[in-house]
A and B are shown apart, each in its own frame.
Chain A
Amino acid sequence: MADSGTNEGVRERRTSGPGRLLVAVYALFTLAAGSRAAVQLSTRFDEAPLAYLLSAVAAVVYLIATVALARRGPTWRRIALLTCSFELFGVLTVGTLSQFDQDAFPDATVWSVFGRGYLFIPLVLPMIGLYWLRTTHDQPA
């Protein structure tokens, strides 16, 4: 837990190289989930409030994850870890529920059916994110 400040100002492996590619894909999904949520909430919120609010939550989580993955330092790393974990939890939960409870999810969100509408990238992305956060963490927990 004793994260020293020795990494300050030094190039961090987590936020360079493949880490930047990860940020780019996360940014893309922030845009996809965000525009979808904006349209759903503004035009037909009454039809499926639960699904549309989830869309908005997904978009916000993608946004926070994008920023956290791009920023240096142990605090941002922790936030990235939290948001990536939440995403994996979200896509697995919504993916499973959307199989059984069609009434609650009549319209698609990015997480429906494990992100099938988005080439399953929403399912794979948090796994890659968590893997990246793990491999670039040089200090043992």
Chain B
Amino acid sequence: MRNDLSAILIGACLLGAGWTAVLAARDQRVGNRLLIVLAAAELLVLVQLLVAVIEVAGGDRPASLATFLAYAVGELLIIPAGLFWSQAEKSRSSTLVITVACLAVPVMTARMLQIWSTVGG
């Protein structure tokens, strides 16, 4: 795990969460610019996973490796699943589905950082 990378990821997700919350409050729909933010966030999740895999392969072992990997892989699903689920219906609630997804990723990332802090300990 790299703290700077995770910080950017968390920032992007919180931006997405705030943005979608404002859209929902104004009863507006998700536009292309927001999709770019979400795509960037998803890319960062992927890079974060790859970096972690390389570090684990290099000998870094957090205390609960299985849990860590479950989080790292599970996190990949969140944003695509949220977008998929929000597509079927255009409503205020559908926009909030993306808000939920955008909040879940920082929580999972924080938990991963917590588990990763046991490396070498």
Contact = CB atoms under 8 A, between A and B. Distances in A.
Interface residues on A, range: 10 to 19
Interface of A: 16-21, 23-25, 27-28, 31, 35-36, 38-39, 42-43
Interface in B47-84: 64, 66-67, 70-71, 74, 77-78, 81-82
Contacts of A38: 70
22 contacts: A16-B89, A17-B91, A17-B92, A20-B85, A20-B86, A20-B89, A20-B94, A20-B97, A21-B94, A23-B85, A24-B82, A24-B85, A25-B100, A27-B81, A28-B100, A28-B104, A31-B77, A35-B67, A35-B71, A38-B70, A39-B64, A39-B67
A17 B91 CA distance: 6
Contacts of B91: 16-17, 20
Chain A: interface secondary structure? Answer: helix
Given A35-B74, A42-B66, 15 more contacts: A17-B92, A18-B93, A20-B85, A20-B91, A20-B93, A20-B94, A21-B94, A21-B100, A24-B85, A31-B74, A35-B67, A35-B70, A35-B71, A38-B70, A39-B64
